[in-house]
Chains A and B, each alone.
Chain A
Amino acid sequence: MMDAGIKKVDLAGHGAAAALERVVAQVGQVILGKTDTIRLALSCLLARGHLLIEDIPGVGKTTLAHTLAKVLGLNFSRIQFTSDLLPADILGVSVYDTDSQSFRFHPGPIFASVVLADEINRATPKAQSALLEAMEENQVTAEGETHALPRPFFVIATQNPRHQIGTFPLPESQLDRFLMRLDVGFPSQEAERKLLRAIDRRMLLESLKPSMDAHRFTSLQRTVDRVVCSDALLDYVQALLNATREAGWLMHGLSPRAGLSLVRAAKAWALLSARELVLPEDVQAVAVAVFGHRLQAANSDGDEGNEMVERLLRSVPIP
């Protein structure tokens, strides 16, 4: 991508952009032909947001989550959500230890840096809210004791948009906890051919070497905070928010939290593009992923969320 000679300043001073580019390239070896999805997912994690991946089975949702964790050098755990899943299965239980004559907390699978919540909509609301509360608080409270979750901490939840029978779709307020929603989509013809020829992705995953560690990743997250976001850009973000509030074809406008999420994601995207300042293009690049699951059409036969965001972007001029 040409950058029109915009000065590239490495904010952290030690090759943040190059390091991130390496991550994208490495993940791209496993997930073929999905660079934009990888970049969005990485921006989401850089912006300290949780990610919801919504697509049909078999397009690589789980692999994407697993690969990201592996390449970023973060420990990974996976929770398969089922209808009989209990909160304790996620958070952990206290067990009486005969040796020490006391209860000892056995941490659940949530105590990992990257938690893959597979098919989140299949669990009961009770189990779902245990996870979502942990996401919000960054800590787990079990039997009066508070246990801090590791840093960084991400939840990558997946859900299958179809086959909604016997599932508990996430309510709007809980969808809002996810910074982005992505759909992976089918690979291109070329990528699919390559996929069919190559060895199993799982084995490839095993052989993958991490390109950074948790410490490095947290410092990159702090770098995102230093990306410049000018008043001119905030004008644009506010124009977008106002447009959602004034548009008659939307059920309701977007909240300030949605605007905040957009700015954070755009900053991460700018860093990924090796820029120290956010441009309207960065906002446009992440808008579909950030706004898509937060918008609802006024009439039920209206557009899909993503189409509505595109329509919104087209109708709001850049100030």
Chain B
Amino acid sequence: MFEFRTYRPPDRAPDRHAANGLLLSALAALALHTQRLPVWLMLGVCSLIAWRYLLENYSWRHPPRLVRWCLLLAAVVAVFNTYGTLLGREAGISLLALLVGLKILEIRSLRDYFVSVFLLYFLTLGAFLFSQSLLTAGLAMAVAVVTTAALARLSLPNSLPISEGLRLTMAILWRAIPIMLVMYLLFPRIQGSLWGLPGDAFDARAGLSDTVTPGSINALSSSDAVAFRVDFADQMPHARQLYWRSLVLSRTDGNAWSRARDPVTVNADSWLSRGIGKPIDYTVDHEATGHRWLVAMDVPATVPPEAVARPGYILEAKRPVHQRFQYAMQSYPAQSAEPLTSAAHALHLRTPRPTSVRVQTLIDAWRREPDPVLAVLRYLREQDFGYTLTPPLLRGDFLDEFLFVSRRGYCEHYAAAFATLMRHLGLPSRLVVGYQGGDWNHAGGYLVVRQADAHAWVEVWREERGWTRVDPTAAVAPERVELGMNALKALLEQGALPGELAPAAIRALLEGSWLARQWLHLGMFWDAANTAWNRWVMAYGPERQQRFLRSLGFEAPSWAQVAATLIIGVAALLLVLAATLLWTRNKSDPVTAAYRRFCAKLGRSGLVRRADEGPLDFYHHILTARPELAADSKPIIALYVTLRYGNVARADLVDQLRGRVRRFRVAHQ
């Protein structure tokens, strides 16, 4: 068990090793920002640190004041030049990093060392302005440990071994945990932009857009970024059911598809009543997108409290999703038919007339078929249409080019072409944009859906069944739906043509090497750890805090009340810590207490007793440093020595000592 000891402050400048410890922690804090700070800045700060190293270890000269001012000016100008401002997240951290380097360079006194350490803590904290992931938290914690160890090394006598410093560090950090928990639970959490950060805090993120042109989803196919994760209450449904709808696009100009203009809020109760089959319960862990639309599995039946329902079974968040958040959902595998208003009927048939004669001929032929939907799907399957991630660029009439010339495309080519054809054939249809499939994470037991899983499909309105999902991509490349985007990409990379391989051959192709499989498993574990972090640590937002505070007995907690509770909580913890500290130190007898007061009085005037200085040595110390105090100090020291070391227990002498200490005055020089 650790006990607090009296460490005397260092009586001389920290030694080389203590200074090098500080430089090491500066490098560690800087390394946290490697990805965000420009290269010139990293090199600059590193060279400032290197300069200090040479100064510390090879007796280089301190830079003169003029050089330091010039460096400061250059740093400010360079940052302004790079960002166009000195404010904001990136410019601010850049400036801070440079100032840390400059401060370290100009260190002269012990105080400068401590200032540098606190700047380093600040720089470490800055990493959270960019990311609050598990990785960032872990790395920042490691840097904090290194910095605290450097601080401990600076505060302890030089002669003590490094292990002593590490022990002190661990003791401090261990005691900080309760304070950290109270801060975590009670620090007022404000909805919306974090800490009122300037605009550049929210990067433009890759994701779906509310207009689809052939080629727009394709841009996502290479993005490994996670769109959302899903936790199913029961078993995961079959891959064919994993259609995650986000947007419904009803308007088209023959090429681009976009949303209908009137965003009507629909009563979600009507959704529930139409569900058919066994309901599926799940929780979506949605990543930040900066947009409002959310995902739900086909066909959603509930609306989370943070969202409203829009026509076409679409969920829209009440605020743009700037932070990751979770919502519970229920979906049905199918829904009963709903009537289509005449206005909606007209909207979903509206499309420019085909300009090409051969397209018109094809449409006329299909019109005579008993089921045009099946006829078009058969056409796509039997003609040499192919699925590719690098479709050729289409010019002119999209439908004509695609159906007769290129015949290669991605999901949105097929969906857009199919929906347009349906409209020409007199069947109301619309484009649905969202995600399809996802990867099952064995380690965490949840489904991960990435941006690369983005997908577009078609819904056709049939008199007897209502809106019916038709996925033309499945007709061309069934692997896309059956195996998922990842497997399809792997197949395409190996040159296999979708739709033409037997399942056994596909399995053989997808069977990676042992190392690749382990790597995949490791990735899953890491993702699972991150998800747990997000679910248990990061998800503690304003709503959960309110819930927690209500459980503490607050009726309607305002942020001021929360702040007050926080301050009281932290103060109480510090008091407990201080009390235990004082108790262990001051349980000593009145003689020791009186002597401590005596030493403290002298200490305030700069005459500090070293922790290893005995009473006689201290007397000689007083005699040389402040001879005028020797006469008053002498009887006090004599009484103390007699009472403490002489096995003398006489109350009158104790009183005499206390009286003398009380009357003892140090005139400040």
Binding site for B on A (CB under 8 A): 2-7, 228, 230-233, 247-249, 276-281, 284, 311, 313-318
The answer to whether A2 touches B159, judged by C-beta atoms less than 8 angstroms apart, is no
| Nearest-neighbor residue (CB-CB) of B616 within chain A | A281
A310 CB to closest chain B CB, in angstroms?
Answer: 8
B634 CB contact (under 8 Å) in A5, A228, A279, A281: A5
A247 to B637, CA, bound (A): 32
The answer to whether A4 touches B634, judged by C-beta atoms less than 8 angstroms apart, is yes
The answer to whether A2 touches B623, judged by C-beta atoms less than 8 angstroms apart, is yes
Identify the interface centre among A231, A247, A276, A315: most chain B CB within 10 Å of its CB.
A315
The answer to whether A4 touches B611, judged by C-beta atoms less than 8 angstroms apart, is no
The answer to whether A279 touches B612, judged by C-beta atoms less than 8 angstroms apart, is no
The answer to whether B612 touches A230, judged by C-beta atoms less than 8 angstroms apart, is no
The answer to whether A3 touches B616, judged by C-beta atoms less than 8 angstroms apart, is yes
> Could you say which residues of chain A place their CB within 8 Å of the CB of B161?
247-249
A197 CB to closest chain B CB, in angstroms?
Answer: 34
A232 to B635, CA, bound (A): 20
The answer to whether B645 touches A279, judged by C-beta atoms less than 8 angstroms apart, is yes
The answer to whether B645 touches A232, judged by C-beta atoms less than 8 angstroms apart, is yes
A230/B642 contact (C-beta < 8 A), A314-B157, A318-B611, A318-B613 known: no
A6 to B645, CA, bound (A): 11
A33 CB to closest chain B CB, in angstroms?
Answer: 22
A292 CB to closest chain B CB, in angstroms?
Answer: 16
| Nearest-neighbor residue (CB-CB) of B622 within chain A | A4
> Could you say which residues of chain B place their CB within 8 Å of the CB of A247?
161
The answer to whether A5 touches B638, judged by C-beta atoms less than 8 angstroms apart, is yes
| Nearest-neighbor residue (CB-CB) of B7 within chain A | A317
> Could you say which residues of chain B place their CB within 8 Å of the CB of A232?
644-645
A314 CB to closest chain B CB, in angstroms?
Answer: 6
> Could you say which residues of chain B place their CB within 8 Å of the CB of A318?
611-614
Within 8 A of A (CB), among B1-31: 5-8
B626 CB to closest chain A CB, in angstroms?
Answer: 15
B617 interface contact, C-beta 8 A: yes
12 contacts between A and B (CB under 8 A): A2-B620, A4-B619, A5-B635, A6-B638, A6-B641, A228-B645, A230-B644, A233-B645, A277-B641, A277-B645, A279-B616, A279-B645
> Could you say which residues of chain B place their CB within 8 Å of the CB of A7?
638, 642
The answer to whether A317 touches B6, judged by C-beta atoms less than 8 angstroms apart, is yes
> Could you say which residues of chain A place their CB within 8 Å of the CB of B8?
317
The answer to whether A248 touches B163, judged by C-beta atoms less than 8 angstroms apart, is yes
Within 8 A of A (CB), among B607-631: 611-617, 619-620, 623
A4 CB contact (under 8 Å) in B5, B157, B160, B616: B616
B192 CB to closest chain A CB, in angstroms?
Answer: 51
A315 to B620, CA, bound (A): 21
| Nearest-neighbor residue (CB-CB) of A248 within chain B | B163
A91 CB to closest chain B CB, in angstroms?
Answer: 43
The answer to whether B6 touches A280, judged by C-beta atoms less than 8 angstroms apart, is no
> Could you say which residues of chain A place their CB within 8 Å of the CB of B634?
4-5
Q: What size tier do the contact residues of chain B reach?
A: 20 to 34
> Could you say which residues of chain A place their CB within 8 Å of the CB of B615?
4, 279-281
| Nearest-neighbor residue (CB-CB) of B591 within chain A | A232
| Nearest-neighbor residue (CB-CB) of B613 within chain A | A318
The answer to whether B641 touches A4, judged by C-beta atoms less than 8 angstroms apart, is yes
B646 interface contact, C-beta 8 A: yes
B342 interface contact, C-beta 8 A: no
A281 to B623, CA, bound (A): 17
A230/B645 contact (C-beta < 8 A), A317-B6, A318-B613 known: yes
The answer to whether B159 touches A281, judged by C-beta atoms less than 8 angstroms apart, is no
B647 interface contact, C-beta 8 A: yes
B614 CB contact (under 8 Å) in A231, A249, A277, A279: A279
The answer to whether B645 touches A4, judged by C-beta atoms less than 8 angstroms apart, is no
B652 CB to closest chain A CB, in angstroms?
Answer: 15
A224 CB to closest chain B CB, in angstroms?
Answer: 16
A317/B646 contact (C-beta < 8 A), A5-B638, A6-B638, A248-B163 known: no
- Contacts A4-B619, A284-B614 aside, 20 further interface pairs with beta carbons under 8 A come to A2-B623, A4-B615, A4-B616, A5-B634, A5-B635, A5-B638, A7-B638, A228-B646, A230-B644, A230-B647, A249-B161, A249-B163, A276-B646, A279-B616, A279-B645, A280-B614, A280-B615, A281-B617, A315-B159, A318-B611
The answer to whether B617 touches A315, judged by C-beta atoms less than 8 angstroms apart, is no
A280 to B644, CA, bound (A): 11
| Nearest-neighbor residue (CB-CB) of A283 within chain B | B614
Identify the interface centre among B157, B623, B645: most chain A CB within 10 Å of its CB.
B645
A315/B616 contact (C-beta < 8 A), A5-B638, A230-B645, A232-B645 known: no
> Could you say which residues of chain B place their CB within 8 Å of the CB of A230?
644-647
Minimum-distance CB pairs A-B, first 4: A317-B611, A280-B614, A281-B614, A277-B646
A281 to B614, CA, bound (A): 6
| Nearest-neighbor residue (CB-CB) of B8 within chain A | A317
A230 to B161, CA, bound (A): 31
The answer to whether B641 touches A228, judged by C-beta atoms less than 8 angstroms apart, is no
> Could you say which residues of chain A place their CB within 8 Å of the CB of B159?
311, 314-315
A241 to B619, CA, bound (A): 26
> Could you say which residues of chain A place their CB within 8 Å of the CB of B617?
281
A259 to B641, CA, bound (A): 22
The answer to whether B614 touches A4, judged by C-beta atoms less than 8 angstroms apart, is no
A230 to B634, CA, bound (A): 21
Interface string of B133-171 (1 = CB under 8 A from A): 000000000000000000000000101110110000000
A146 CB to closest chain B CB, in angstroms?
Answer: 40
The answer to whether A317 touches B5, judged by C-beta atoms less than 8 angstroms apart, is yes
> Could you say which residues of chain A place their CB within 8 Å of the CB of B5?
317
Identify the interface centre among B6, B611, B641: most chain A CB within 10 Å of its CB.
B641
Within 8 A of A (CB), among B591-618: 611-617
> Could you say which residues of chain B place their CB within 8 Å of the CB of A231?
647
A277 to B642, CA, bound (A): 8
| Nearest-neighbor residue (CB-CB) of A231 within chain B | B647
A120 to B620, CA, bound (A): 41
A4 to B8, CA, bound (A): 24
A84 to B516, CA, bound (A): 74
A315 to B157, CA, bound (A): 8
A3 to B635, CA, bound (A): 11
> Could you say which residues of chain A place their CB within 8 Å of the CB of B644?
230, 232
| Nearest-neighbor residue (CB-CB) of A311 within chain B | B159
> Could you say which residues of chain A place their CB within 8 Å of the CB of B616?
3-4, 279, 281
B628 CB to closest chain A CB, in angstroms?
Answer: 16
| Nearest-neighbor residue (CB-CB) of B156 within chain A | A315
A284 to B623, CA, bound (A): 20
| Nearest-neighbor residue (CB-CB) of A278 within chain B | B645
> Could you say which residues of chain A place their CB within 8 Å of the CB of B6?
317
A147 to B6, CA, bound (A): 53
A228 to B612, CA, bound (A): 21
> Could you say which residues of chain A place their CB within 8 Å of the CB of B7?
317
> Could you say which residues of chain A place their CB within 8 Å of the CB of B641?
4, 6, 277, 279
The answer to whether B638 touches A4, judged by C-beta atoms less than 8 angstroms apart, is yes
The answer to whether B612 touches A316, judged by C-beta atoms less than 8 angstroms apart, is yes
> Could you say which residues of chain B place their CB within 8 Å of the CB of A278?
645
| Nearest-neighbor residue (CB-CB) of A228 within chain B | B647
A4 to B639, CA, bound (A): 10
Identify the interface centre among B7, B617, B642, B646: most chain A CB within 10 Å of its CB.
B646
B653 CB to closest chain A CB, in angstroms?
Answer: 12
A317 to B7, CA, bound (A): 8
A2 to B641, CA, bound (A): 14
A278 to B645, CA, bound (A): 7
